[in-house]
Structure 1
């Protein structure tokens, strides 16, 4: 790289940083955000947390109900993810360059994945809430639609990375399209796909808590209920159980991923 190109890159980097600083300042001014004042409130915030978010013997009496709602949230996340994985596998096969039937199906599959992926799960919850109301179906569908978008994109990449020689060998022997998919593509892509499914289960369990607040279901609804009633002892217990559940599921998921990959 010559000196002229280096100076050009340096100026571009400098201009970019200046723009970022200006945008940050304008955003802080418009939202009336003051960094120094925010930092100064941190000690008081931690003091409030340690003073109010305490797990008491009285709050532990509600633990069975909390665990029941937490289980409901976890199972809903798993169900939404596994069903979405089946749909995503079909869309990925249609959308992949390796296995596509024709260009039209490929474009449609990729459009569905892009559309559902680019709308956040919270936005899907609000959209579906209008049609289905506050119930578990709304939460399930919000997680399902968002997961389809993410998994389809991930599955397409996994299928595209499959070894082409196996596909070509089966095609040369006169194997049908379905034999080529079942014998060459899916066996090679399956470990990576299972890893993505496990990742989405973890993600959806976290998202389901927020979705539950909006749809009035699961552990999210219980958290919102006690928070609005200012029962911070139960809020602390609910938060603690969610953290423990997420960490446990992540550890199990990581162990499974190490085995299958």
Structure 2
């Protein structure tokens, strides 16, 4: 890279840096956000947390109920993710350049993935809440729809990365379309797909807590209930159980990823 090009890159970097600063300043001014005042409140916030969010012996009496609701949330997340993975696999096969049947079905599959992925899970919860009301089905569908979009996109990329020589070799021998997918594409893509599924299970367990607040189900409902009644001891216990659960699932997921990848 010559000196002229390096100078151009420096100017571009400086320009974008200035633009980001201006946008940040304007955003803060419009929203009346004061960074220094926000920093000053941090010590008071930690002081409030340490003095209020304490797990008491009385709150531990509610632990069985909390674990029951937490289990409901975890299983709902797993069910939504696994069912979404099945649907996403079919959409990915139709949408991938390697395995697409025709351009029409490929465009439809990519459109479905883009539409469901670009609407946040919280927004899906609010949309479905109007139709299905506050129940477990609403939370399940919100997680399912959001997961389909993400996994379809991830699966398409996994299928596209499959070794083309295997596909071409099977095609040259007269193998059918389904043989080509089952013998060449899926064996190469499956480890990466399983890794994405595990990642989405972790993500959905976190999201399910927020979805539960909106749909009145699972551990999110209990959190919202005790928070509104200012029972901070139980809020602390619920938060602690969620954190421990997420960490344990993440550790198990990482170990499985190391085995399959």
TM-score by length of structure 1 reads 0.98
Alignment match, 2:221: 221
Cα deviation, residue 148, structure 1: 0.3
Query: Cα RMSD between the aligned structures?
Result: 0.8
Alignment match, 2:120: 120
Cα deviation, residue 104, structure 1: 0.5
Cα deviation, residue 120, structure 1: 0.7
Partner SS, residue 55 of structure 1: coil
Alignment match, 2:75: 75
Structure 2 gaps of 5+ residues are none
Partner SS, residue 254 of structure 1: helix
The reply to whether residue 35 of structure 1 matches residue 35 of structure 2 is yes
Alignment match, 2:196: 196
Q: Deviations over 1:163-198 (max 9, x none)?
A: 111111111111111111111111111111000000
- Where do residues 159-174 of structure 1 align in structure 2 (5 Å cutoff)? 159-174=159-174
Alignment match, 2:18: 18
Cα deviation, residue 9, structure 1: 2.1
The reply to whether residue 131 of structure 1 matches residue 140 of structure 2 is no
Cα deviation, residue 8, structure 1: 2.4
CA distance in 2, matches of 1:184, 1:34: 57
Q: Deviations over 1:185-218 (max 9, x none)?
A: 1111111100000000000000000000011000
CA distance in 2, matches of 1:82, 1:173: 34
Alignment match, 2:63: 63
Structure 1 gaps of 5+ residues are none
Cα deviation, residue 4, structure 1: 2.8
CA distance in 1, matches of 2:28, 2:189: 46
Alignment match, 2:45: 45
TM-score by length of structure 2 reads 0.98
Cα deviation, residue 13, structure 1: 1.8
CA distance in 1, matches of 2:167, 2:11: 49
Alignment match, 1:238: 238
Partner SS, residue 33 of structure 1: coil
Partner SS, residue 150 of structure 1: helix
Alignment match, 1:142: 142
Cα deviation, residue 10, structure 1: 2.1
